[in-house]
């Protein structure tokens, strides 16, 4: 720990109290990620899962008992917060149920095309993806596996999750769709939902556009400032997720904490001493093969929103030299936890505390 931190906390009991609250909750959360299925009802352009043939790498476990057994094994190992992805997890509520039965902090990542039942899943966080916003969302995501075009994906997701406080839109911003950000956020707000910003990575051509990203940062900050209750992401996170840069370094493989700690490919990375998420692994749909990390493994262009958030969270020592820096870190941490309906930082918990149903 930075030696300046105890002195800083002694001078600022308000920050000490916030740090203590964040740390006490974070200690209860041990995350892992599971590819719940290789199937999906879409074929989005820019989907790392299909662009990298993850659906072909393993055969998914289909028998009814396999998932409850697997979920129990993970729970016995101390996992409390499974992130269920795919493919499309809402296609298999029974598999989600297996995790809900044994773990308190379940999140699934969905394209929003199907409503996920509330009954029995009231405390399951549902992270809904939007690519670009406006017409770009359908252009990138509106593809059925058959190649048929699908229109109105955001309309469908908004209708399926209207006023549903389990839902958080993971709004993946794109430099070419800056003009759509304000309207897309307003629609999310009017629908009674919230969002976190992410940043689009193009796995097809890998071309980066620094000028476009700088302009996108300005747009994102402006819209976030106008919708503070809807856009959960704070400024330091927005800058980091769009540019990959912070004052203490650049996001990339050498610092990314969201990799499978038991995967042999990472022995050298683990040895470099940069922190990783304790016990974090990513399990393929066969439940026995480890994927390398929480997303594609294409580190050069990766801006995975949860990986960038996690990097900032494990980088607390870089924020402890001044009170304003520590405040930045606390804003990042609290906004991260606000995404999850099962966390005490979520607006549901705040409403319950105020006695509002």
Choose one: 13-21, 90-98, 288-296, 348-356; the region binding ligand SF4 (CB under 6 A): 288-296
Note whether 240 binds ligand SF4 by CB under 6 A. Answer: no
Among 8, 74, 221, 256, binds ligand SF4 (CB under 6 A): 256
Distances (CA, A) of 16 to 10, 84, 231, 318: 8, 33, 25, 17
| Residues that contact ligand SF4, how many (by CB under 6 A) | 27
* Best CA proximity match to 107, nearest among 296, 312, 310, 339: 339
Q: Least distance (Å) from ligand SF4 to the CB of residue 243?
A: 14
Q: What are 16's two structure tokens? A: 């000490």
Nearer Cβ to ligand SF4, position 201 or 230?
A: 201
- Contact between residue 290 and residue 284 where contact means Cβ atoms under 8 Å apart: yes
Among 238, 259, 313, 330, binds ligand SF4 (CB under 6 A): 259
Compose the 85-104 pattern: x for residues touching ligand SF4 by CB under 6 A, - for all others: -xxx----------------
Choose one: 41-49, 172-180, 227-235, 237-245; the region binding ligand SF4 (CB under 6 A): 41-49
Note whether 40 binds ligand SF4 by CB under 6 A. Answer: yes
> Helices 13-26 and 4-11 meet at what angle, rounded to 10?
120
3-class secondary structure, 270: helix
Q: Least distance (Å) from ligand SF4 to the CB of residue 303?
A: 8
Q: Least distance (Å) from ligand SF4 to the CB of residue 62?
A: 18
Choose one: 7-15, 181-189, 240-248, 296-304; the region binding ligand SF4 (CB under 6 A): 296-304
Residues 133-172 that bind ligand SF4 (CB under 6 A): 141
Among 30, 35, 43, 287, binds ligand SF4 (CB under 6 A): 43
Q: How many CB atoms lie within 10 A of CB 255?
A: 19
- Contact between residue 303 and residue 241 where contact means Cβ atoms under 8 Å apart: yes
* Best CA proximity match to 265, nearest among 288, 281, 242: 281
User: Residue written as tokens 């209708």?
Assistant: 159
As a whole number of angstroms, the distance between CA 116 and CA 179 comes to: 31
**Residue 176 CB partners (closer than 8 Å, separation 6+):** 132, 136, 212
Note whether 299 binds ligand SF4 by CB under 6 A. Answer: yes
As a whole number of angstroms, the distance between CA 155 and CA 236 comes to: 30
Contact positions vs ligand SF4 (CB under 6 A): 40, 42-44, 47, 49-50, 86-88, 111, 141, 252-253, 256, 258-259, 293-299, 302, 304, 307
């Amino acid at each position: 720990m930075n030696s300046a931190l105890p002195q800083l906390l002694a001078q600022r009991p308000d920050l000490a109290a916030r740090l203590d609250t964040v740390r006490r909750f974070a200690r209860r959360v041990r995350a892992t990620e599971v590819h719940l299925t290789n199937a999906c009802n879409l074929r989005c352009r820019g989907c790392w899962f299909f662009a990298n043939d993850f659906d072909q790498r393993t055969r998914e476990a289909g028998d009814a008992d396999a998932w409850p057994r697997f979920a129990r094994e993970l729970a016995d190992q101390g996992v409390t917060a499974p992130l269920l992805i795919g493919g499309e997890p809402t296609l298999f509520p029974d598999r989600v149920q297996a995790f809900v039965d044994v773990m308190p902090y379940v999140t699934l990542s969905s394209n929003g095309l199907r409503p996920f039942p509330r009954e029995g899943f009231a405390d399951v966080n549902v992270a809904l993806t939007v690519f670009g916003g406006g017409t770009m969302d359908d252009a990138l995501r509106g593809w059925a596996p058959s190649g048929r075009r699908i229109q109105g994906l955001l309309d469908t997701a908004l209708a399926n999750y209207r006023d549903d406080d389990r839902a958080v839109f993971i709004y993946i911003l794109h430099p070419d769709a800056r003009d759509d950000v304000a309207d897309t956020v307003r629609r999310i707000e009017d629908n009674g939902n919230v969002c976190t910003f992410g940043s689009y990575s193009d796995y097809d051509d890998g071309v980066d556009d620094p000028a476009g990203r700088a302009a996108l940062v300005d747009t994102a900050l402006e819209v976030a400032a106008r919708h503070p209750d809807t856009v959960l992401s704070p400024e330091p996170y927005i800058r980091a997720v769009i540019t990959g840069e912070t004052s203490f370094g650049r996001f990339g493989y050498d610092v990314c904490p969201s990799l499978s700690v038991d995967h042999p490919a990472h022995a050298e990375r683990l040895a470099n001493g940069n922190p990783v998420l304790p016990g974090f692994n990513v399990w393929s749909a066969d439940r026995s093969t480890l994927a390398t990390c929480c997303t594609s493994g294409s580190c050069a262009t990766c801006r995975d929103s949860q990986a960038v958030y996690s990097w900032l969270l494990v980088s607390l020592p870089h924020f402890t030299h001044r009170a304003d820096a520590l405040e930045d870190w606390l804003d990042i941490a609290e906004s991260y936890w606000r995404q999850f309906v099962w966390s005490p930082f979520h607006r549901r918990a705040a409403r319950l505390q105020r006695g509002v149903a």
